[in-house]
Each structure stands twice: as C-alpha cells, then as structure tokens.
A and B are shown apart, each in its own frame.
Chain A
Amino acid sequence: MATATELPVELFKGPVDPDWCPGCGDFGVLKSIQEAAAKNGIRPENLMVVSGIGCSSNLPGFITSYGVHSLHGRSVPVATGVHLANTDMKVVIVGGDGDGYGIGVGHLIHAMRRNLDVTYVVMDNQIYGLTTGQTSPTSTLGHKTKSTPQGNIENPINPLALAMISGATFVARGFSGEQKLLADTIAAAMNHKGFALVDTFSPCVTYNKINTYPWFKERVYKLEDTDFDPTESLYKSLEKSYEWDEKLPLGVLYKHEMPTYEDGEMSLKAGALVKQPLAINKETYKSLVEELI
C-alpha cells in the first residue's frame, strides 16, 4: 500500500451520477468514502469497494475504483474472497442495514470474529428502501411500514454491540448529516488493522418518516467532544453502544489491537496470492504422489 500522500478527491469521481432520491443520506456516505480514500492516499486502482444489493449497494457504480456489486447479503463473503486473493488492495464493504444485518448477518458475525482486515460501512436507514418501504432489522419498535402496518413488533438489532461482542476491533457510528466527521471516521476505519464496522445513519427521505434528518440532529453528539476513550474497555464501549432514545453518540466507540486473520494465514506469508506464481513446485507435487504408492 502506498504511504499516505493525500490525493485529489476528484480522482474518485464516478463514471455516472448516483440515481438515489434527492436528499438521500447515501450521498454523504459516498462523498465521505471518496474523501477518506483521498486522505489516506489510496489510489483508485488499489481501492476495492464491494457491495450487496439495495439502494446503498449501488454505490460502487458511483465511485472510480475497482468494485464488486454482488448479491443481496453476500457482500462480506465476496469481499473476503477478493481481499484474500489480493491482500494488497484496500477493501471497503458498503451496503444497507437489510443487506448487512438481515440477510447477511451470518456472514458479518463470522467476518468479525476472524478480525479480517476490511472496513464495512453500513448505510443504516432502518427501512428497506429499494423494495419500497418494508421493515428492517434496525427498524424501531412500533414503526409502521408496508410490511408492518400495525407497527413493528420485533426488537431492533444493536449493530454496535453485536460487532463488539463478535470480535470486530474497530466499531464506530457515523451520520451522513455530519459528513466531515463521517469522512474522518471512515478514514480512521480504513487505517485500522482488523475488522472495522462503521454503522452510519443514512436517512431514507422517501420511506422512513420517523428517523429523519431532524430526528437525528436533535439526538446526535460527537464522542470526540467528550472524554470517552474507545480504547479503555469493551464494557464501557458496550455501555455506550446502548445509548439510544435521547442521545446518539457519533464517532469511534471501540478500538482494540488484535492479530488479524491475515496474520495467521500461512499462505499469505509469501505475499498476495494473486502475485504468487501459478507454476507449482514439481518436487513437492511428486512427493505427494509418492505418498499414495
């Protein structure tokens, strides 16, 4: 990876403009990822943005970098494969709350316990937007949606707490209404060695009439303005992750240095797989045949 010489953010301008609804929170997330990559000096060809399916998962199409726009809920395993094949690339996974915490939550938990060295930015709008407004794993109790006209009767997932207890080593929350802070948070997440989750409030202006920009603005505060230390203890971080109704903390909630999956994987000791020669050691092969005789 190139050392951090800041790059012009224009390098990351995408080939087409986003087709998101005007005012969608995802615009702020896109801009933040572009700024974070520029700030960290990651060249577009060394950046890999992997998504699943959903409004927010269209993001790879709107940024100049390598990208994979995969299946609903499968961004994490696809990103794992791409990353393990070429560990020289910086991988950022993007998608929505349905994609990551609903259909894809199984993969997410396992990627976190592996402490895979990737960054995952979830654009959490607490609703299914692309499918026109059904309840999501982070919809609050009582939320009336197309699929829950009487109000949602299921408790929402707490993605931050889930990430902390699953083994993620960098857990943060962003808000696209605080774009500057979000860009800094994503940049820090990308610089972290290990699994980084940035759960990001990214309001859906079309289908979520409860968790709106004004709703968030009234509640959010920046952890950097307090004396909270995300590296102090898992328990304090967990406690912080449960702040909800009145106060919503933004910034890094948990940060911990741990060996990554890549550190333990012996095949990577010889460098990125894709750069290793295709030809095998014939003597090794012949010894394996000899074992069968």
Chain B
Amino acid sequence: MQEVTIGIAGAAGDGLDKSGDTLARSCGRFGLHVYAYNSYQSIIRGGHIWLKVRVSDRKVTCHGDKLNVLVALNQDSIERHAREVDEGGFILFNSDRIKCEELLVKKGVTLLPISMKEVTEEVAKKFGPVKPIMQNTVAMGAVMHLMGLGTEQTEEVLTDTFSAKGQEVIDMNIALLEAGYEYAKKLVSKPIFVAGKWETDKKRRPFITGNEAIAMAAYAAGCKFYAAYPMTPASTILHWMATNAKKTGILVKQCEDEISVANMAIGAGIGGVRSMCATAGGGFALMTEAVGMAGIMEVPVVFVEVQRGGPSTGLPTKTEQADLFQVLGASQGEFPRLIVAPKDIADSYASTVEAFNLADKYQLPVLMMSDLLLSEHPETVDAEQLSCDVKVERPEFIKEWDAEKNGKFKRYKFTESGISPRALPGTPGACHVTASDDHDERGILISDMFTSPPVRRKIMEKRMTKVENMLKELQPPQLEGPANADVTLLCWGSTWGVVREAAELLNEKGIKTNYLCIKYIAPFHTKEVTEILSKSKKKISVEVNFTSVMAQFVKMQTGVSMDGHITKYDGEPLEPLMIVEEVEAQLASKTKDLSVSEAEAMEMAYHYLRTHALEKLRPSTLKIHSKNGSGEPVWEIELAERITGKGAGTIKIGSNTGSIIEFKQETPVKA
C-alpha cells in the first residue's frame, strides 16, 4: 500500500477548494482512492480553510493521521500547519510573499519555496498576467511531481473544468501546471514517490460527498418531490436537487420553515409520489410532530437528519453524533418507523434507495441519520456503487374499487403482515380520509366521542406488526475484524471509517481488535447484538459526542454495558491514532488527560490574536511552566511580529482551565 496526504491551507476565497477538487479528481481518474476532509472555520471570505486530501492505492475510510505535503496559500497557514508535516514531507509556498522559518518545521521536512513571479514568467509572457488564484495550479503541478504522478489526468480535469471558458484559458492553466511540475522536478530529485510506482486498477472513480450520494440515490430511486429549508450541513442536498432539477424532473420546494417541509413532504407522500426532505438537528426538532403523523397515517416518506455540533445552534459547521435520542424520540406516541444510520458514502447511497423501498413497502416514515463529516466530506467511490440500476420496488396500488361488489374500501385493513392495500387519491371508488386522529380500518375516526378501545387495540397491533416483519429483512450488524478479539469497538455512522483504520493499527500492534457498527437503530437487532456483545471481552464505544449515546442505547436494548468509552466533542472528527492511544490507555487503566494540549494552546493563541484584531502578531515558541502561583500549569507562548519576526510579547494560557491568564505586548501594535 502506498499513500500520501496533502494539506492545502489558506483563506476562504483563495480557491483552495477548487484546487483540492482538481487534485482529488486527477487521482480519481488515475484509479486511486481519495478521502478529503475540509475543516473550515469560516465560510465567509477571509476565514481560514484547511483541506486534507488523502490519496492511496487502496480504499481509505478516513483522513488519517499523516501529513506529507503542505500547500500554504498564506502566511497564517505556514504558522498554523508547518509543524504538522511529517518527516520526509514537503512544504510548498509562494516565496514572493510568504516565509517559512526553519524553527517551525520538524526535522527531515523539505521547504519548497516557489517564486511564483519567476516560475510563471514565461506563461505570463504568452498568456498575459497570472492572477493570484491561478498560482494554485502551479502548486498542483509541483504536488503532482512530489506524489509521483504525471500531469496527464490533471490536464484532463483542467480541460473539463475550463471548457466553458475557451481554449485560451485551458492552455494557460495547463501551462501553469506544467511550469509547477517542471520546477519541482528540477528542485526535488527525491519526491515522496517515484513516478510509475502507484499500483492502480485504472478505474475512473467519481469523487462525491455523502449528501450528493443521498440526493443521487433519491433520484435513482424515483423520488419526485424534495422539500427543504436551508440548514447546514443538509443544504448541499437541496443545492444538488435544485441544480439538477431540470434534468431530473424532481419538484424541489424550498419552504418557509421545517414544519412546512415535513408536512409538505408527507402531503406529497399521501398524494402518491416518492418524497424526501432533509435537515439538521434544529430543523428536525421542528419536524418531529409531523413524523408521528406519517406514522399513524402510514405514509411513506424519507427524512434525512444530518447531525452537527449541538445543542441549540451549537457548532453549525462542525461534526457530532449526538442526536440519536432526538431522532428516536421524535414525536409523541408509538408508531412504526425505520431509523437507519449509514456508515460511509457508498452506504449512504445504498441506504437511501433502501429507505424509499422500505418506506413504500411498509408504508411508514424512514429517518436516515447522517452527520456533518459523512455528509460534507468527499471521497472517491467505485462508479458501480453509484449505479442507477438499483432495485426500485413499489407495491401495486389499487387501481379501481368496486364498493358494491367488494364492500367499502378499507385503507387500513387489518392484515397478517400489518400492511394494508393502498389506493392513491384519485382512485375511483376508494375515497377515504388519511387522518392523524386514530381510526378504524376504513379511516373513520375512533377518537373523541367515537372512541373504541377494541378497535384502537387492533389498529395499534396492525401498525406495530410491521416492525417485526421489517426487522426480518434488515441485515443484522456483524463483527468486522478477527474473531475472539481482546477488544471490541462499538461505533455508528461516519465513525466506522476511522474505527476501521484504528482497529487495523491496533491489530498491527498486537492488540487483537474487532468492531461492531450499528446501522439499523429502529427496529433494532436486539438478539444478534446481545449475542455478539455478551461474548466480547473488553468493549469500548467510540463516538463523536459527550455521553456515548449509542452505548447508552445498546445497553437499553441488550442490557450489555460497555467497559469503556472513547468520545470526542470538540467539533472535529476522530483520527485513528487518537483511538489507538485511548484504547491502549484504557487497557492500561490510565485516566484520560483532559488538559489543554500544546497544539490546542497554540490554536487558542492564534484565535485570541485574531479576535483581538492583532493580525500583525503571531505566536512563535511555546513552553509549559509549573503552577507558578496560577493554581495550574501554564502554557507560555512567545509572540512575534509578523513582518520582522521580532519578539512582541507573550500570552499565558492555563492548561487546566484554558483561560487566558495574561496577555502582554512589549511594544503595543495598533490593532
């Protein structure tokens, strides 16, 4: 296996997302596997953006722990990320306006300053001035050399990207790419990988996000109605739907609020079309009353709930998996529904198709749970995993009903399977009311003055029977990894991708580890999960939340408690080594160190300087002091002037409390 991780850092508006996309798609066309993660602080122009693109000749399921190449598009990016580059790595930057001090980098890291003026001189002569954003293409050329890839695929991608802008623009970009490639080739005789060393199956792989996969699957499954209210991180489903509506013929409706979204989607379901809506936790809170309505009315409809950092507005652009009980508890009363949490992008696609089929077959709402990491990170998948040749199963509807011959139509007829015949509005002879009040077989109310305990019992039993039958056709969760392991990791959703890699690393270290990913939450495979967990030795849950909600839920269902929990709730996803270290610590019964780490202290110093409008200063070195009368060990961070590099003051940060204990400027700089 051969892999490399490229980090691209800069300000929003620097065009680095486009560069990342070009890089990833070039690799995807080459037949390599890519996983990208965009940790963005800000979506507003000027905010810091940090994109990691992991490229491998084997499928990778997370962004990993490594950083081999840093492409820094501004000075801030050097200071923030230079020290993360691993030994043997490279740091690329425009030396006309960015500097990188040696003390910022690890031993064995090569600086690759590119004088953009110099490198692009010839191109500028031929094509005219090179805009700053075009310099990214030069950097991409250099990266291609460092990775041991040619420029052929990237040239193709650029040709496609700029096809609407004309041959001149295409030629200019290709010239810039080649200039960067040749420059790096001249300077770096030993790149990370030598050209031709990649093992690739030459399959061209699409590069897609989880949200796009859900939207495309909905289209493939015959979805005709999509409603939404803008909310991060679900909005990109709306964007895909709206952008492609002309081609897909799907009716895309942006509504006045999520209450309207959910009710409209249910209305469309009643009308007889495949219908879907999506939102994040806050929007889903508004939808919950409608979820129960779909349950009692037995309306097929697909809800997508994309989790982000909560509670309340929480961390709108950060990831978390803390909405499990909100989704489980959505709506009052008891009703059949399917709750499913796909584990990766290909699974998001397959689960969405399945969601539509099961919603139609069992006539119930399906709630799909995703999370920001899964929904917004792009990765390459095999084209077959996005195939439109999927099973689209819809039960037959009653076409016409002869009430004189067959008696009055019973929309909620009591059947052994709990599934009743469905006649869509417009069907002659089968008029009925779809009601949120409880009702009898014909849909006639049994609430208020018509209350009938025996009929209520029967209709409840009819609806709930569907749950048992549905469970039988869902694939039970299975252990992945070696049998009889010493450690079993429990996970769900996007955390599967990182747990999978952590388990590999643990096994390599001799700690026999397997893992269990829960996909179907309701109905739940109680028997199978109980069997697996009661045989497992050390059981540790791994989740991106504070209270290990899946572990709580599994205990509720099976009675089995975890022996330990690994959690993360800072908005960023887990990384494999974090899990490995935690598992080792838990096996050794060490307690978790919750103090502010060196990297966190540095980030806090940056944040403090930024929010206090002191862009002229930056942190330089950092050391930790003992208590010194502060009541806690203190990180002392030396500050330097950005331009001169001269010492400019200090910030002291408490390592336990994380508070800014002191901020001292030697010669005050004007904000």
Q: Please give the residue numbers on chain A whose beta carbons come within 8 Å of chain B beta carbons, in ascending order.
A: 15-16, 19, 43-46, 48, 50, 53, 58, 60-61, 64-71, 74, 76-86, 88-89, 106-107, 109-110, 265-268, 270, 273-274, 276, 278-280, 282, 284-289, 292-293
B52 at the interface (CB under 8 A from A): no
Residue of B nearest to A80 (CB): B264
Bound Cα distance A109, B29 (Å):
50
For window 246-267 of B, CB contacts with A under 8 Å fall at 246-253, 255-257, 259-261, 263-267
B302 to chain A, nearest CB (A): 14
Residue of B nearest to A282 (CB): B388
**Can you list, as one digit per residue, whether each of B256-293 has a CB less than 8 Å from chain A (1) or not (0)?**
11011101111111111111000000000000011001
Interface stretch of the complex, out of B218-226, B460-468, B484-492, B563-571: B218-226
Q: Is the CB of A279 within 8 A of B433?
A: no
Partner of A86, one of B205, B271, B388, B408: B271
Interface of A is mostly: helix
A260 to chain B, nearest CB (A): 14
Give how many A-B residue pairs fall within 8 Å (CB-CB).
206
B556 at the interface (CB under 8 A from A): no
Q: Is the CB of A48 within 8 A of B425?
A: yes
Q: Is the CB of A267 within 8 A of B249?
A: yes
* Given A45-B428, A77-B259, A279-B270 contact (CB < 8 Å): no
Partner of B426, one of A61, A88, A265, A280: A88
List of A residues within 8 angstroms of B434 by Cβ: 67-69
Interface of B is mostly: mixed
Q: Is the CB of A84 within 8 A of B435?
A: no
Q: Is the CB of B424 within 8 A of A86?
A: yes
List of B residues within 8 angstroms of A278 by Cβ: 222, 274, 392, 394
Q: Is the CB of B392 within 8 A of A84?
A: no
* Given A85-B225, A267-B251, A16-B444 contact (CB < 8 Å): yes
Interface centre among A15, A279, A292 (most CB of B within 10 A): A292
B216 at the interface (CB under 8 A from A): yes
Interface centre among B257, B270, B430 (most CB of A within 10 A): B270
Bound Cα distance A60, B264 (Å):
18
Q: Is the CB of B257 within 8 A of A84?
A: no
Q: Is the CB of B267 within 8 A of A280?
A: no
A74 to chain B, nearest CB (A): 4
Q: Is the CB of B267 within 8 A of A274?
A: no
Partner of A85, one of B207, B275, B450: B275
List of B residues within 8 angstroms of A266 by Cβ: 245-246
Interface centre among B434, B442, B449 (most CB of A within 10 A): B434
Bound Cα distance A77, B261 (Å):
8
B28 to chain A, nearest CB (A): 6
Bound Cα distance A128, B227 (Å):
31
Q: Is the CB of A71 within 8 A of B289?
A: yes
A68 to chain B, nearest CB (A): 5
Q: Is the CB of A69 within 8 A of B256?
A: no
Q: Is the CB of A285 within 8 A of B219?
A: yes
* Given A67-B434, A81-B271, A270-B425 contact (CB < 8 Å): no
Q: Is the CB of B251 within 8 A of A289?
A: no
* Given A82-B425, A89-B425, A285-B220, A280-B263 contact (CB < 8 Å): no
* Given A85-B270, A279-B222, A292-B207, A15-B246 contact (CB < 8 Å): no
